Structure 1
Amino acid sequence: MAPIAAGDSLPDGTLAHFDENDQLQQVSIHSLAKGKKVVIVGVPGAFTPTCSLKHVPGFIERAEDLKAKGVAEIITISVNDPFVMKAWAKTYPENKHVKFLADGSATYTHALGLELDLKDKGLGIRSRRFALLVDDLTVKAANIEEGGDFTVSSVDDIIKALA
Structure 2
Amino acid sequence: MGRIAVGDTIPDGTLSYANEAHQVVNVSVHSLAAGKQVILVGVPGAFTPGCSLKHVPGFIEKAEELKSKGISEIFVLSVNDPYVMKGWAKSYPENKHLKFLSDSTAAYIKSLGLELELDVSDKGYGTRSERFALLLDDLQVKVANVETGGQLKVSTAEDMLKSL
TM-score by length of 1: 0.95
What displacement does 1:20 show? 4.0
Distance 1:14 1:161 in 2: 27
Distance 2:7 2:45 in 1: 27
- Could you tell me which residue of structure 2 aligns to residue 126 of structure 1? 128
Distance 1:123 1:21 in 2: 28
Within-5 A mapping of 1:13-162: 13-116=13-116, 117-162=119-164
Q: 1:28-63 CA distances to partner (integer Å, 9 max, x unpaired)?
A: 111110000000000000000000000011111111
Q: 1:88-129 CA distances to partner (integer Å, 9 max, x unpaired)?
A: 000001111100000000000001000013225442210000
Distance 1:62 1:12 in 2: 27
Q: Tell whether 2:12 aligns with 1:12.
A: yes
Unaligned runs of 5+ in 2: none
RMSD (Å), alpha carbons: 1.1
Q: Secondary structure at the match of 1:124?
A: coil
**Is the Cα–Cα contact under 8 Å of residues 131 and 143 in structure 1 kept in the other structure?**
yes
Task: Kindly report structure 1 stretches of 4+ aligned residues shifted beyond 6 Å.
Answer: none
Distance 1:149 1:143 in 2: 12
Q: Secondary structure at the match of 1:70?
A: coil
Equivalenced residues, count? 162
**Is the Cα–Cα contact under 8 Å of residues 128 and 147 in structure 1 kept in the other structure?**
no
Distance 2:125 2:57 in 1: 22
Distance 2:63 2:160 in 1: 11
- Could you tell me which residue of structure 1 aligns to residue 2 of structure 2? 2
Q: Give the percent of matched residue pairs that are identical in Structure 1 and Structure 2.
A: 64
Distance 1:23 1:104 in 2: 15
